[in-house]
Amino acid sequence: MKNVKRIVILTACLASLAMTCMAQDAQSSSTCGNWTLHGDYAFRLSGEVFTQGGLVYRDGVAMTHFDGKGGLTQVDWVMANGVAVPGPLDKNGFHDNETGSYNVYANCTGDAEIDFPIPPQGTSGAVIKLKFVIGNRGSELHTIVYSLTPPNSTTPVPANIHSDAVKVSPY
């Protein structure tokens, strides 16, 4: 009788533990927050910017670091109509000093803003605003730019730029 009682108690404890783990897993797989984006993400971007001077094609790569709390930093290398865009470069030849913020919603969508440094003899840096969706439990990110304000301007221009990213895994 004593062993049966122990087996019943042990079974009840294991069932309770399993239910708790399943509930936590269900919550973590369906709910996102700023913490979902943390670490480095490698981006590939492309699209067009519609300026008064005509259509400008953009292609590039970026490495963005998300701090898990709503802040980001970024380095990138972007071409505009086949010519590298100007800007400060780090020791590896990438544009740097790009900062910003992001907000992740519970349904794993979000928005972000990237602020670029003020160019030499400029008045303001470029500002890009984007919307994103998170995939594969935070290891993929898909973005679309909805506002692009060029350097030395306060007026956004139309743009059609999108990017896809994967989380960089440490070796």
The tens place of each residue's pLDDT in the chain, 171 residues long, gives: 555 454 444 444 444 444 444 434 444 456 999 999 999 999 999 999 998 889 999 999 999 999 999 999 999 999 999 999 988 899 999 999 999 999 999 999 999 999 999 988 889 999 999 999 999 999 999 999 999 999 999 999 999 999 999 999 877
pLDDT for 120 equals: 85
Which whole-number Å values give the CA distances from 127 to 102, 145, 151, in the listed order?
13, 11, 8
pLDDT for 5 equals: 53
DSSP class of residue 11 equals H
Query: Please, are residues 19 and 27 in contact by the beta-carbon 8 Å criterion?
Result: no
- Its sign, for the CA torsion 82, 88, 93, 96, is negative
How many H helices and E strands in the chain?
Answer: 1, 9
CA–CA distance, 102 with 58 (Å, rounded to integer): 23
pLDDT for 171 equals: 73
Q: Which residue has the tokens 């001077």?
A: 53
| Paired residues of 71 in beta bridges | 101
